[in-house]
Copies of this chain bind each other. A is one copy, B any other.
Amino acid sequence: MAQLYFQRGMHEQRAQFEHFFRDYPDYGSHQAGYAINAGLETLLEWIDGARFGPDEIAALRSQTHSAGRQLFGDDFLDWLEQHGSFDNINLRAIPEGRVVHPNVPLTVVEGPLAMVQILETALLNTLNYQTLIATKASRLAEAARGRPILEFGLRRSASLGGNAATRAALIGGAAFSSNVGASHAMGLAPKGTHAHSMIQAFTALGQTELDAFRAYAETYPDDCLLLVDTYDTLASGVPNAIIVFDELRSAGHAPVGIRLDSGDLAYLAIQSARLLNEAGHDDAQIVLSSGLDELITLQIFAQINQEAANYGVDPQRLISRLVLGVGSKLSTSDGQPFLSGVYKLVALQDDGWVPAIKVSDTPAKTMNPGEKDTYRIYDRRGRATADLLAVAGEDLSSDAPMRLQHPIDAHQHRDLAPDDRSRLEPLLEPVLVNGQRVSDPPSLEDMRTRRTDDVACLDPGVRRLVNPHTYHVSLTPDLWGLKNRMMAEARQ
């Protein structure tokens, strides 16, 4: 496409593309009610280093037409080598960590047509995945009700994509990760536990699980977290852990806790808590892992609430000791492993911005055309009540009721009286101007705060894990009018 634009003299014509996703992740039996935006800094780092260097140009030059001739002309390749960078693009985006919704532009790129087209795959590859994983992490955080989540997914994540998974999980709701490199890059200490193999190594050499636990306590007296299910959780693992914890306390150290990695986690957590409590270790953490996702976590908490008291264990105190180790199902977004993010041409400059559209027989897939402004509207309680897409430059300061038009159904709209709205917040912020950053990268803490602030502004029905309320994404009457005119024209 870039070569075609080059041959037609269209390659440096300014174009505007929007990145948005079409639907919340739908995990089969349950669909998300909101998403968490992530991946922008990773994309900016990529853009900063992306060039068509000699190796890339040589690789392109070696491509051939079916008829055998060189596929890319020397004139085009020369242009690409000299001008094939992202130095001339402007990029606006919704900041990482914020709550986001379908069909709202998360990233808007403006620049020479050929280069903003070339950016498409890298942009989608980077942003779709991290937004997907940050969203899953936020759902886990909802299910965990304040208890910490440890991200353990690297061994089964998608090759080098595992580092992006860790980054997104840490933004979206995970407290820590066992991924040493990615944690370090985010300025966090990694957190993990030992593996079964450590116990196996000791027993293969004629020693016991207890010997292995003692060795671990000797090496890490203040960080002693023991995996107790190598042979038999309640008959061997927990009793041996208690012996070692007693010894640690006698020596003036506080044991950290145990990890349960198989079996009926709710039942074993209750029974382990009972044994630990009886031995005076009622502050020891209980880390749960093995196939956890948001619904299994919800179920474990419910089962503990229902059953713990039957065994003399206080359910709330037990829950306050839990830590959730979540692996494969977080780092692959099990149930919905990709986000439906797209990157669409919305406008082209030709004596001002000319809007562009793509229609579809599926009404939900017909895009919203043209250059836009985007807002989040808050109600009187300070709750986010809708996201609103407007034609760029529209004046929305009127005191009249504000009409929120459904993006597809002409007959559905909502009129919001001035009293019903407390704030109209622009969502997109400038990020790159002529390829240069306009502000420093946010810290992990900044991104996490955005998430918790935004989630707190959602209606509890939207936050629900199963069958959430639908958050409104609406158009202004002006944008609705533009969309309808262009659809009619395109269909002629």
Contact = CB atoms under 8 A, between A and B. Distances in A.
Interface of A: 1, 3-5, 7-8, 10, 15, 17, 28, 39, 42, 59, 63-67, 71, 113, 117, 120-121, 124-126, 128-130, 154-165, 180, 184, 189-190, 194-201, 203-205, 215-216, 218-223, 229-232, 256, 262-263, 328-329, 331-334, 337-341, 343-345, 347-348, 350, 354-362, 365, 490-491
Contact of A4 (B4, B159, B219): B219
Copies in the complex: 2
A2 B195 CA distance: 11
B120 A195 contact: yes
Contacts of A350: 204-205
Given A155-B343, A201-B348, A230-B359, 20 more contacts: A1-B195, A1-B198, A3-B219, A4-B198, A10-B201, A42-B159, A63-B189, A67-B221, A117-B197, A124-B155, A125-B154, A156-B340, A159-B165, A161-B162, A200-B345, A200-B357, A204-B347, A204-B355, A332-B338, A333-B337
Contacts of A358: 196, 199-200, 230-231
28 contacts: A1-B195, A4-B219, A5-B201, A39-B159, A64-B189, A65-B223, A66-B222, A67-B221, A71-B223, A120-B195, A124-B156, A125-B154, A125-B162, A155-B341, A155-B343, A156-B338, A156-B340, A158-B159, A158-B164, A160-B160, A200-B344, A201-B356, A204-B345, A205-B354, A231-B491, A262-B362, A334-B338, A337-B337
Given A1-B194, A200-B356, A334-B337, A223 B66 contact: yes
A231 to B, nearest CB: 5
A216 B4 contact: yes
A362 B125 CA distance: 38
A175 to B, nearest CB: 15
A59 B160 CA distance: 20
A160 B159 contact: yes
Given A158-B161, A219-B3, A231 B361 contact: no
Contacts of A126: 159
Given A66-B256, A197-B344, A365-B262, A356 B204 contact: yes
Contact of A184 (B59, B128, B231, B256): B59
Contacts of A332: 158, 332, 337-338
Contacts of A121: 154-155
Contacts of A124: 155-156
Contacts of A164: 158-161
A445 to B, nearest CB: 19
Nearest to A268: B361
Nearest to A357: B200
A128 B229 CA distance: 24
Contact of A125 (B117, B159, B229): B159
A156 B222 contact: no
Contacts of A256: 66
Nearest to A197: B345
Contact of A231 (B59, B262, B359): B359
A155 B164 CA distance: 15
Contacts of A4: 194, 198, 215-216, 219-220
Nearest to A164: B159
Contact of A15 (B39, B201, B232, B355): B201
Contacts of A491: 231-232
B155 A339 contact: no
